[in-house]
Amino acid sequence: MKGKEPIFRGAATALVTPFTENGVDYESFGRLIDWQIEKGIDALVIAGTSGEGSTLSDAEHKAVIKYAVEKVNHRVPVIAGTGSNETPYAIELSQYACSVGVDGLLVVTPYYNKATQKGLVKMYYSIADATDKPLIVYNVPSRTGVNIEPRTYVELARHDRIVAIKEANGNISKIVETAALVGDRLDIYSGNDDQIVPMLSVGGQGVISVLSNIMPAETSRMCHLYFDGKVKESAKMQMDLIPLINALFCEVNPIPAKAAVSAMGFGKNILRLPLTEMESEHEANLLQLMRYHGLIG
């Protein structure tokens, strides 16, 4: 079967959503979007895990997606997080995102109610059948309690609009098995910033990144160096950035990312419960590493 057209190649930022005390901080959100594009990011993911999509109201979720599409204005692909453990709602939100002009959908596996592998296939087919944009399957079992098995991806790859995987299961052996089974029928993106280069080495097309919230140019460069055959240089970037990546994941995402983006002037460090601000010692370490990399004064 012929490969499908990729939504992007390189780094896509899983963008945080800046908040005020009363809602979405669109002024800061707009500046963050413009800065990301100016720095050369390859794509943007809106209202995913990092964007606190799970605590956005339905109206906010739709408004954030629409705002981002209009603000980006075709400068880079916009991918909307539209997954849910209620399939009819995932379909509704996905259809809305398609109607306002997103370039792709990022659909997480169902959380809490979980699913069998058969159930996962039926769910993804239902969403893909009901929409007209390419769909990225998001596998993050540490959050959802369900893992997509390599042979399940073979079934998912049969659908024309299911085009890619954001793989965050952390198991490189399983990812290699998946890549061997699906070939070029599904693009594979790393869902973990500490595994960007390892994923590229087994045919990955890039990363959907938290790190790139604060280092969009560098995260994109890491990918494109690899694509250009400069493997050692790319791998060195990966290793040099590990302390900062670890600091960005020392507490549950997006707690550190929101603190980091706020420190760079993109809105207040406001999260929604059950997320709370970083522990002070963790934040001090994160800010120290950001100063080391010249991200803040």
CA distances to 123, 174, 189 from 13, in Å: 26, 24, 12
| CB-based contact 41:214 (threshold 8 Å) | no
Please say if 166 is a catalytic residue. yes
| CB-based contact 244:238 (threshold 8 Å) | no
Separation CA 115–CA 113 (nearest Å): 7
Residue 114 amino acid letter: K
SS3 content of the chain, % helix, strand, coil (to 5): 50, 15, 40
Q: Which two tokens stand for residue 103?
A: 């370039």
Evaluate the CA torsion angle 76, 158, 90, 257 in order and state its sign: negative
Find the catalytic residue in 96, 124, 138, 226: 138
Alpha helices in the chain (DSSP H): 26-38, 58-72, 87-99, 117-129, 141-144, 150-157, 172-182, 196-201, 216-227, 231-240, 242-248, 255-263, 280-292
Please say if 122 is a catalytic residue. no
Give the three-class secondary structure for 84: coil
Report which of 73, 125, 137 is spatially closest to residue 103, judged by C-alpha positions.
73
Report which of 295, 277, 284, 108 is spatially closest to residue 219, judged by C-alpha positions.
295
Find the catalytic residue in 166, 189, 226, 258: 166
| CB-based contact 291:284 (threshold 8 Å) | no
Q: What is the dihedral of CA 242, 244, 249, 254, to 10 degrees?
A: -140
Residues labelled as active-site residues = 138, 166
